[in-house]
């Protein structure tokens, strides 16, 4: 959930060493254009998808720069998150899903890279599709206005899920109400064409959180988003978060599917460490 920690600090890349900055910029830009070139030569690439992919990759230059500077100059990600979830359907079948993500921040830009791992009940396991997310954070009066670009990477093992290159664009609005935070996110996904009926589709999330104390937070979210194979996944989720220290938090998550194409139940635990 994006708005649970609105505008609370962050590590900023320092530009005190011009030579290091120039080197990092050159290396990051080369990486972006290498990816751009390899993706745009794919067959069945429409002009709209090419445009979105180009925007995702080119606007990821600040993100790649942050990663490069952190690597060369010893800067760490702003935040690490590790989650472990169990997803089950109405027939009693289930699989385990873990996700590791690192988040970097450079002034108004925030970059998040995630890589999941999937464990099927039949014993098959492997990594899922990685995800790059670039956020541009703004504020209009008392409302936070954030734009998100997402690029899904086809890193998944075919034995556990479908490897795809999808692109997403969304607008998130959020604000404070007393001790709570409300948020809504409207988005659209351009889906890679496969043997499955994966049509381009919109997404929507509505939710809010409220602080019960300095350590405890509860909240709920309603999601309307596309599933991996092309169906619409609608889920209602409840969460509770406990802050152990200024840097460490854990969150308990329970979600219930609302449609036949949604998972029946999603339960999990997430740990977060902030530098």
pLDDT digits (tens, 9 = 90+) for 86-96: 999 877 788 99
Q: Could you tell me which residue, 122 or 10, shows the higher pLDDT?
A: 122
Q: Can you tell me the mean pLDDT for 268-273?
A: 95
Q: Is residue 194 part of a domain?
A: yes
Average pLDDT, the chain: 79
Q: Is residue 106 part of a domain?
A: yes
Q: Is residue 41 part of a domain?
A: no
Q: Is residue 46 part of a domain?
A: no
Q: Is residue 89 part of a domain?
A: yes
Total number of domains constituting the chain: 1
Q: Is residue 53 part of a domain?
A: no
DSSP string, 94-163: EEEEEEEEEEEEETTEEEEEEEEEEEETTS-EEE---EEEEEEEEEETTEEEEEEEEEE-----TTTS--
pTM: 0.72
Could you tell me the residue range of the domain that residue 115 belongs to? 2-12+76-274
pLDDT digits (tens, 9 = 90+) for 168-207: 999 999 999 988 999 999 999 998 887 777 888 899 999 9
Burial of 220 (0-12, 13-18, 19+ CB in 10 A): middle
| CATH classification of the domain holding 213 | 2.40.160.40
Q: Could you tell me which residue, 85 or 58, shows the higher pLDDT?
A: 85
């Amino acid at each position: 959930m994006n708005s649970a920690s609105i505008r609370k600090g962050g590590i900023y890349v320092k530009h005190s060493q011009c030579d290091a900055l120039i080197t990092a910029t050159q290396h990051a830009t080369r990486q972006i254009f290498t990816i751009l070139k390899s993706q745009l030569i794919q067959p069945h690439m429409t002009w709209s998808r090419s445009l979105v992919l180009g925007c995702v990759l080119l606007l990821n230059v600040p993100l790649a720069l942050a990663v490069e500077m952190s690597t060369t100059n010893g800067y760490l990600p702003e935040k690490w998150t590790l989650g472990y979830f169990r997803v089950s359907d109405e027939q009693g079948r289930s699989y385990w899903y873990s996700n590791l993500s690192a988040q970097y921040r450079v002034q108004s830009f925030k970059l998040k890279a995630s890589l999941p791992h999937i464990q099927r009940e039949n014993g098959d396991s492997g990594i899922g599709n990685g995800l790059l997310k670039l956020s541009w954070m703004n504020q209009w009066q008392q409302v936070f206005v954030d734009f998100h670009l997402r690029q899904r990477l086809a890193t998944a093992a075919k034995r556990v899920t479908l490897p795809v290159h999808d692109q997403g664009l969304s607008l998130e609005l959020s604000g404070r109400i007393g001790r709570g935070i409300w948020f809504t996110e409207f988005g659209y996904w351009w889906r890679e064409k496969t043997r499955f009926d994966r049509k381009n589709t919109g997404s929507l999330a509505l939710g809010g959180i409220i602080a019960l104390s300095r350590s405890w937070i509860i909240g709920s979210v309603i999601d309307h988003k596309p599933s991996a194979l092309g169906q619409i996944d609608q889920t209602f989720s409840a969460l509770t978060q406990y802050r152990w220290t200024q840097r460490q938090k854990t969150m308990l998550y329970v979600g219930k599917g609302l449609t036949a194409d949604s998972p029946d139940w999603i339960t999990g635990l997430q740990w977060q460490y902030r530098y």
